[in-house]
Chains A and B, each alone.
Chain A
Amino acid sequence: MAAPDLRAELDSLLLQLLGDLEELEGKRAVLNARVEEGWLSLAKARYAMGAKSVGPLQYASHMEPQVCLHTSEAQEGLQKFKVVRAGVHTPEEVGPGEAALRRRKGPAKTPEPQSSEAPQDPLNWFGILVPHSLRQAQASFRDGLQLAADIASLQNRIDWGRNQLRELQEKLKQLEPGAA
């Protein structure tokens, strides 16, 4: 490949990388804000319901995850993560590589494509009449989940981009040993 093409590709890759980094910073800030909001809402719920009513003692003995993580490989070495609500059978996009359905929490078992019924809303562990702050906490953490998957995909893309950048720079060095 000619050096100018390589340089052009290098430039575009660098721009892409910088764009991804900026997006990553933004998403991280939003994730932090959501998680903080979630914890504060939980504290408010504890204030309203009593400290004993909102805590690990309320966890169900058998937990079913509400969301699953779907990984796909779009290009060689580049993995994408997508959050899928439990109960959805087929993932929407299937890359050229394997698509694996992974459970994020709950008992580890081989991925099963079908789930018989929608898992119980964890809000019900705390009673049927939960205060508004607990619902707010759930909403904040749900948003956080989606953001976490996006951040993981972005970080993967950034790592992949850096590797590509390094390879291209090596190639460029070989083509033009004297050039910077």
Chain B
Amino acid sequence: MLEGAELYFRVDHGYLEGCKASLLTQQDYINLVQCETLEDLKIHLQTTDYGNSLANQTNPLTMRKRLCGEFEYFQNHSLEPLSTFLTYMTCSYMIDYDSADEWCLQTKSVKEIPGTCHPLGPVNIAETSSDLFNAILVETPLAPFFQDCMSENSYLETFYKFCKNHGDVTAEVMCPVLEFEANRHTFINTINSFGTELSKEDWETLYPSFSKLYPEGLWLLAQAEDFDQIKSVADHYGVYKALFEAVGGSGGKTLEDEFYEHEVQMNVLAFNRQFHYSVFYAYVKLKEQEKRNIVWIAECISQRHRMKINSYIPIL
């Protein structure tokens, strides 16, 4: 690696260390969980890095705006290839907003979306799941990288190839993370598809081709009819076997909870290596999990369901 690049990395990494320190700690979560009302929760959050940004609103979109601001700062200061890496990260949110969902792939084709996959265009999006309101909050326009790839699956494959080509520590850290992400989508979507009209052939086109599950695991998953059959497929793969076995248990954890927990562990480990881009990815993902945690705690407080309030996933 060029010396200049290392220096640059130090500057950026140093900044990110400061950002990493802004993540809520276990003590912060303990304080939040003990709140009786949403007002208490806001007061406690003011003592953390969120400061007064949530003082007047308890909207999760406010937290997202804050993260967007930080992310824009990274992007504005980045050079290639980091800026490409960061753009890849934003694309997943773009796709999230409109057509990554297989439902969208069925009801409208990519050609209906004008221009270079800009999600703000068609009115029919506003009538259904992804509103213009959501789209307005999207901070960066979708780059021309993804003209042909509008599914979550192809996005992951392209991102994976980019990281692998980049090589070095970034590839070492990012590739397993992206594989896990792809497999997670595969398992969760297969389970959620039970009872819907999607056929097995549709499924095979949506599965990723770069993960450990490819091709035998994916073929088996496409044949699965219920949760137990999916579990038996997962038993062939060490990591997923452990996750599936932990479902249920004493805490009543769902599969999504297990996947999120494992994702958090992988992202925290990313910070143990130096001079790679994955820290940015890990930071954003951990902030997302933190947002999910805070929203969950707030919902439990407002619905007075204190038994389930500890189901959040601690990060640090």
Contact = CB atoms under 8 A, between A and B. Distances in A.
A60 interface: yes
B300 A132 contact: no
B60 A52 contact: yes
The interface residues of chain A, by DSSP majority, are classed as helix
Given A43-B296, A61-B127, A128-B106, A133 B303 contact: no
B128 interface: yes
A50 interface: yes
Contact of B295 (A39, A46, A135): A46
Given A44-B254, A46-B299, A52-B61, A132 B192 contact: yes
Nearest to B59: A51
B308 A124 contact: no
A126 B129 contact: yes
Given A124-B103, A128-B103, A132-B191, A43 B299 contact: yes
B134 interface: yes
Contacts of B55: none
A136 to B, nearest CB: 11
Most chain A Cβ neighbours within 10 Å, of B191, B198, B256, B305: B256
A129 B127 contact: no
B102 interface: yes
Contacts of A61: 127
Contacts of A128: 101-103, 106, 193, 196, 198
A51 B129 contact: no
Contacts, number: 73
A52 B189 CA distance: 19
Interface in A55-82: 57-58, 60-61
A39 B303 contact: yes
Nearest to B191: A132
A132 B191 CA distance: 9
Chain A interface residue number, banded: 20 to 34
A58 B129 contact: yes
A133 B254 contact: yes
B300 A129 contact: no
Interface string A99-132: 0000000000000000000000000111111111
Nearest to A134: B192
A53 interface: yes
B303 A40 contact: yes
Contact of A131 (B129, B256, B291, B299): B256
Contact of A40 (B131, B198, B305): B305
Interface of B: 60-61, 64, 96, 101-104, 106, 127-129, 131, 133-134, 188-189, 191-193, 195-196, 198, 254, 256, 291-292, 295-296, 299-300, 303, 305, 308
10 contacts: A40-B303, A40-B308, A43-B305, A51-B292, A52-B61, A58-B129, A61-B127, A128-B101, A128-B106, A132-B191
